[in-house]
Structure 1
């Protein structure tokens, strides 16, 4: 009796299972497996302390360039972010990265260390070039750069174009003697212009206003962002010459034909909807162009060497 009941229960369960299977349509995948990309990687790079943010902005550019350089056996675009210029230089020299973007001063340093070559100007933030404002407060008895002798000026940071190279070179060409100090409280010789690094433009502004330093150096864009009322209380002592906002550098051993193709792609990007979309993501870049006379690569190198060879 018990065995008969058990068999009936097993039969009912089997029938229920079959019915359940019949009621569910069979799922058959029609998607073909995606083939992995073939070819070499094109690697673009920059220096940043926020790699995730940089990669998000750079990856579409890497993908775009890789797609348009397939004739050179390029199959994929990659982004690498370094913590310092020495690492970037090492990567360029070894061929680990192909393209690097930066402002003139760090670009010059990287070129010197790696042999990388500059090929184009980049209109980062839709700006072709920029310059530095050297300023103080209007109520101070400082009316010229000569009046900075024996006093201290604030720069941004050691790898900055507008916050170090341009103002330092300007002081040198004006016949002054800029000398780095450990702090704003250090003694400055009567024939020196002491300088300290604030590590941030906001710090430079506050240090000038508070009197911690006699003057400061800011790029024109940041200076114009100071609230009008505060800016009206300031006095501009000098404006440096303009230099390229950003530079495109390529590894020293890149095939000349690939360099030429890369230049053509970058120069044409702003002329297509897809290219414009990628440029917008790429830190609001307007376009790429050749170096004009007023922002020539050679002049930037001269300014760099004045600062480095002191």
Structure 2
């Protein structure tokens, strides 16, 4: 950006914008959790390009994607100001917020959905009709950083008065009153484990379960459904300049009102848009933080 333009912009904005954070604000870093960056880049590229174009006049010359494989590494990156905005499922965002001091500020309608819920399901021939029937059984869960694939269903089991224990391997012997679990690291693996009889039950979100029922009707049954939670959430790092945050909030919220914005949203996770939390951020996340605390108290994190 030419120096004269940068100086003019500095005078247009508030004094907050004139701090050392200006240099950092020239590049806006969006973060998400995943094992590989190439696939995520294909997903996020439409949004990154759109934000670069829309925020150019506000001092943003580049919008980059930062990918880390775990909540701990993402929180550390946010604390180092290497990630400005983090986008992921609500439980994962809450975990990162606890570790980094980040603040959830917008809801993302991923796959056109404002909210979603987790289901625990089993094969119709398993003889299992309730959570209590899982005592001494094994359940397939995705991974520790999955909202609907681990965090929410694990809490559902605890709330039902069940204790859960990690198995060394899916085939490890298991008996007693505890529910044994193993990690599949992928929703499809979870469904296959239940279908193949390697697990007595599994957990996923309702969209994946409906897809499973469409592909293999009458083979599975749901034995428990969670409360609804925001489908996807944006969180900002502590200390992000208010002027930039306000402009970013506005830019994201009005995307769905233009043809270009709608096209970008469609190509980015089949989104319907971004909006505020109807009940406010604090009230929305209070029960989510309680879930994380309950899991921590039970030694599950």
TM-score band w.r.t. shorter chain: 0.7 to 0.9
| CA displacement, residues 150-180 of structure 1 (integer Å, 9 cap, x when unaligned) | 1111111221111001111111111111222
Choose from 51, 56, 62 the match for 2:37: 51
Alignment partner, residue 269 of structure 1 = 255
Count of aligned pairs between the two proteins: 277
C-alpha distance in structure 2 between counterparts of 1:309 and 1:99, whole Å: 29
Rg (Cα) greater in structure: 1
Structure 1 residue 217: deviation in Å?
Answer: 1.1
Mapped pair 1:179 → 2:179: no
| CA displacement, residues 124-145 of structure 1 (integer Å, 9 cap, x when unaligned) | 1112111112111222322211
Q: Is contact 2:156–2:226 with CA below 8 Å preserved after alignment?
A: yes
Comparing 152-161 and 39-48, the one that deviates more: 39-48
C-alpha distance in structure 1 between counterparts of 2:263 and 2:40, whole Å: 17
Alignment partner, residue 22 of structure 1 = none
Q: Is contact 1:59–1:77 with CA below 8 Å preserved after alignment?
A: no
Structure 1 runs not aligned, ≥5 long: 1-33
SS at match of 2:172: coil
Structure 1 residue 229: deviation in Å?
Answer: 7.1
TM-score w.r.t. the length of structure 2 is 0.83
SS at match of 1:261: helix
C-alpha distance in structure 1 between counterparts of 2:199 and 2:296, whole Å: 24
Comparing 39-48 and 293-302, the one that deviates more: 293-302
SS at match of 2:104: strand
C-alpha distance in structure 2 between counterparts of 1:174 and 1:214, whole Å: 17
Mapped pair 1:194 → 2:204: no
Mapped pair 1:303 → 2:291: yes
Mapped pair 1:163 → 2:153: no
| CA displacement, residues 55-91 of structure 1 (integer Å, 9 cap, x when unaligned) | 2332342343344445653233222223433332222
Following TM superposition, where does structure 1 have runs of at least 4 consecutive aligned residues deviating by more than 4 angstroms?
34-39
> What does 1:73-152 correspond to in 2, within 5 Å?
73-152=59-138
- Assess, with a 3 A threshold, how the Cα gap between structure 1 residues 77 and 195 changes in structure 2: closer, same or farther: same
Structure 1 residue 278: deviation in Å?
Answer: 2.1
Comparing 56-65 and 257-266, the one that deviates more: 56-65
SS at match of 2:61: strand
Mapped pair 1:240 → 2:211: no
Q: Is contact 2:94–2:285 with CA below 8 Å preserved after alignment?
A: no
Q: Is contact 1:291–1:297 with CA below 8 Å preserved after alignment?
A: no
C-alpha distance in structure 1 between counterparts of 2:102 and 2:177, whole Å: 38
SS at match of 2:216: helix
C-alpha distance in structure 2 between counterparts of 1:214 and 1:60, whole Å: 40
